[in-house]
Amino acid sequence: MHEAKYYSKEGHSIFCELCPQECHIMEEGSGNCGVRRERDGKLFALNYDHCGMLAVDPVERKPLFHFYPGWNVLSMGTIGCNMQCTFCQNWNLVSGEDEGKEQLNPETVLSMLREHPPGEVLGAAYCYNEPVVWYEFVLDSSRLLAEHGYKNILVTNGYINKAPLKELLPSLDALNIDIKAFSDEFYRRYSSGKGLQEIRRTVEDSLASCHVELTYLVIGSLNDSLTEINRFIDWVASLDSEIPVHFRRYFPAHRMDVPPTPIMTMRKIWDMARERLSYVYLGSIMDVERNSTYCPHCGKLLIKRRGYHAENVGLVGSGAKCQSCAEPVNLSGSFHGEEQSK
């Protein structure tokens, strides 16, 4: 076990201050996430060195479409989550019922990355489960990797308090933040969260220091109303209309049996979002047109995508400008194999 950060003592209980759940944990008890436990008056992270899943895969799979396209990343996850979504697609891993049991520490991650030839793997992505509840490991690992020139990616629900986020952000390079809906009621009813406000703050704070992309899982009849989608689009546009947004198609999972979201609904949302946002994509759908990147200034095709394969067809100047109109494009880092740029 590894002593946790961000907690205080209140009598005979522990007050966890990592995320907005703010659990009061009694003696020998654990928090809502299941992986932070009281023992002898201290709070410990039970999953610090526990790796449940490990793979090298494309950065596009996170999904990140505007961050070093074409690169691979070392993706890793553990057990636990600070939400209990009824539609969770990785619930077997999160619960620890169906996952590997490999010990992992930051030095091991660095050694794994060094085993790959230079320029082959960009860095590490903390994903699969909710990396916020792997906080101590992610903090230590991301700091070590950053010192050695590797990138760090967080794929998260954004449910984290302001102070721990502020400490973590300097060692992160990119985040994909999952917006589960744009209503407090949905978070309370289907995700055991307190509401949307904390996630909005995480997005807004992260934009100041990292590359950020957003994902919205569209679930028919639950969070797909045009009114709710329009509120989400308006909010993103008010922050920055060039934030890449991924609308993912829902399929039944875990305890939710709502039918798969109709493809026509997804395409209608794409058309609607494109009126106000520069970069909009559809996930979990094989649709080359709606997964490719177009110049927001002249409309020319810039990046063509088939699945997770990205092809540069219209970017020049280390991937930073449109070949047709020479306008800059919101892209952090260049294509794999090309000169890197920020």
Q: What is the CA radius of gyration of the chain?
A: 20
Residue 328 lies in a domain: no
Residue 310 lies in a domain: no
Question: Looking at the structure, do residues 138 and 283 belong to the same domain, yes or no?
Answer: yes
- Residue 334, CA atoms < 13 Å, CB-side half-sphere: 15
Q: DSSP letter for 252, please.
A: -
The Cα 24–Cα 39 span in angstroms is: 14
- What percentage of the chain exceeds 90 in pLDDT? 90
Residue 312 lies in a domain: no
| Mean per-residue pLDDT of the chain | 95
Residue 164 lies in a domain: yes
Question: Looking at the structure, do residues 25 and 123 belong to the same domain, yes or no?
Answer: no
At 295, phi and psi to the nearest 5?
-65, 125
Residues of the domain holding 82: 50-300
Per-residue confidence (pLDDT) for residue 332, from 0 to 100: 95
Question: Looking at the structure, do residues 33 and 123 belong to the same domain, yes or no?
Answer: no
Per-residue confidence (pLDDT) for residue 98, from 0 to 100: 52
Tokens of 49: 């060195």
What digits encode the pLDDT tens for the residues 64-103?
999 999 999 999 999 999 999 999 999 988 887 655 567 8
> Which of these, 67, 114, 145, lies nearest to 340 by C-alpha position?
67
Residue 305 lies in a domain: no
Per-residue confidence (pLDDT) for residue 265, from 0 to 100: 97
Question: Looking at the structure, do residues 163 and 35 belong to the same domain, yes or no?
Answer: no
Question: Looking at the structure, do residues 9 and 140 belong to the same domain, yes or no?
Answer: no
Question: Looking at the structure, do residues 41 and 89 belong to the same domain, yes or no?
Answer: no
Residues 39-54 have a mean pLDDT of 95
- Strand pairing report for 7-10 and 13-16: antiparallel
Q: By the 8 A CB rule, do 10 and 24 touch? A: yes
The Cα 134–Cα 125 span in angstroms is: 12
Residues 291-305 have a mean pLDDT of 97
Residue 331 lies in a domain: no
Residues 32-49 have a mean pLDDT of 95
- What percentage of the chain exceeds 70 in pLDDT? 97
What digits encode the pLDDT tens for the residues 194-219?
999 999 999 999 999 999 999 999 99
Question: Looking at the structure, do residues 293 and 155 belong to the same domain, yes or no?
Answer: yes
Whether 18 shows a pLDDT value over 50: the answer reads yes
Question: Looking at the structure, do residues 195 and 141 belong to the same domain, yes or no?
Answer: yes
Question: Looking at the structure, do residues 149 and 172 belong to the same domain, yes or no?
Answer: yes
Q: By the 8 A CB rule, do 93 and 77 touch? A: yes
From 28, 45, 62, the end of a domain falls on 45
The Cα 3–Cα 27 span in angstroms is: 15
What digits encode the pLDDT tens for the residues 309-321?
999 999 997 668 9
Cα dist. 245→179, 192, 278 in Å?
10, 24, 9
Question: Looking at the structure, do residues 112 and 182 belong to the same domain, yes or no?
Answer: yes
What digits encode the pLDDT tens for the residues 243-290?
999 999 999 999 999 999 999 999 999 999 999 999 999 999 999 999
Whether 184 shows a pLDDT value over 60: the answer reads yes
Question: Looking at the structure, do residues 239 and 137 belong to the same domain, yes or no?
Answer: yes
CATH number at residue 244: 3.20.20.70
- Strand pairing report for 2-3 and 42-45: antiparallel
Per-residue confidence (pLDDT) for residue 84, from 0 to 100: 96
From 280, 300, 320, the end of a domain falls on 300
Per-residue confidence (pLDDT) for residue 342, from 0 to 100: 32
Per-residue confidence (pLDDT) for residue 320, from 0 to 100: 83
Residue 100 lies in a domain: yes
Q: By the 8 A CB rule, do 259 and 216 touch? A: no
Residue 327 lies in a domain: no
The domain tally of the chain equals: 2
Question: Looking at the structure, do residues 294 and 279 belong to the same domain, yes or no?
Answer: yes
